[in-house]
Amino acid sequence: MTQRTLVLLKPDAVRRNLVGEILGRIEAKAGWTFAGLELRQLDRATLEQHYEEHIGKPFYEPLVEFMLSGPVVVLVVEGERVIEGVRRLTGPTDPIAAEPGSIRGDFGTIVRENLIHASDSEESAIRELKIFFPGLS
Ligand code: RTP
Ligand code: MG
């Protein structure tokens, strides 16, 4: 089942020069390709749409401030079962709970600064791809 998913390498990943390492892990999976790739400074309106489900939660404002704190890599990954696949490479939200071998498990310690976002379902992927790559067919 070929799918597309939206991935963000968060400002901490860019600041810590982990972009190559993280892209390499995703790119190395058999048959997966990058259908879009860009370094981009996000704005508040985009983040409000992207993190819509979290508006009003205590971590929402600090999360948005963090996501505005520097450029992110916005990435579209295409291939066999990429939605589940990238989530598994990423690991759970809390990097301390994430298995070593996962991106968050290998490089993260802080829940907010957990290096990477990846769409969590087909429905989320479609919604998020429209926000970040409205021109993608
Ligand atoms: P993401 O959406 O970034 O892929 O991460 P996720 O599904 O694993 O986590 P989610 O629950 O959707 O939360 C989105 C992002 O908000 C930050 N967060 N901070 N308690 C906290 O301080 C807290 N909880 C979540 C993280 O950056 C998380 O990835
Ligand atoms: Mg999420």
Catalytic residues: 117
Tell me, yes or no, whether 137 lies in a domain.
Answer: no
- Identify the bridge partners of residue 102 per DSSP, sorted by sequence position: 100
CB atoms within 10 A of CB 67: 21
* Average pLDDT rounded to a whole number, residues 128-135: 97
Tell me, yes or no, whether 100 lies in a domain.
Answer: yes
Asked if the interface predicted TM-score (ipTM) of this complex is over 0.85, the answer is yes
Is 59 flagged in the annotation as binding?
yes
Tell me, yes or no, whether 32 lies in a domain.
Answer: yes
- Identify the bridge partners of residue 36 per DSSP, sorted by sequence position: 76
Please give the residue range of the domain that contains residue 33.
Answer: 2-132
Tens digit of each residue's pLDDT (9 = 90 or more) over 79-93: 999 999 999 999 999
Closest-CA residue, ligand 1 atom 15, reads: 112
Question: Cα separation of 55 and 42, whole Å?
Answer: 17
Please report, for the domain that includes residue 35, its CATH number.
Answer: 3.30.70.141
Tens digit of each residue's pLDDT (9 = 90 or more) over 96-109: 999 999 999 999 99
Question: Cα separation of 12 and 2, whole Å?
Answer: 30
Tell me, yes or no, whether 35 lies in a domain.
Answer: yes
The number of folded domains in the chain is 1
- CA–centroid distance, 31 to ligand 2, in Å, is 25
Ligand (nearest to CA of 117) = 1
pTM above 0.95, yes or no: yes
**pLDDT at 68 exceeding the cut of 90:** yes
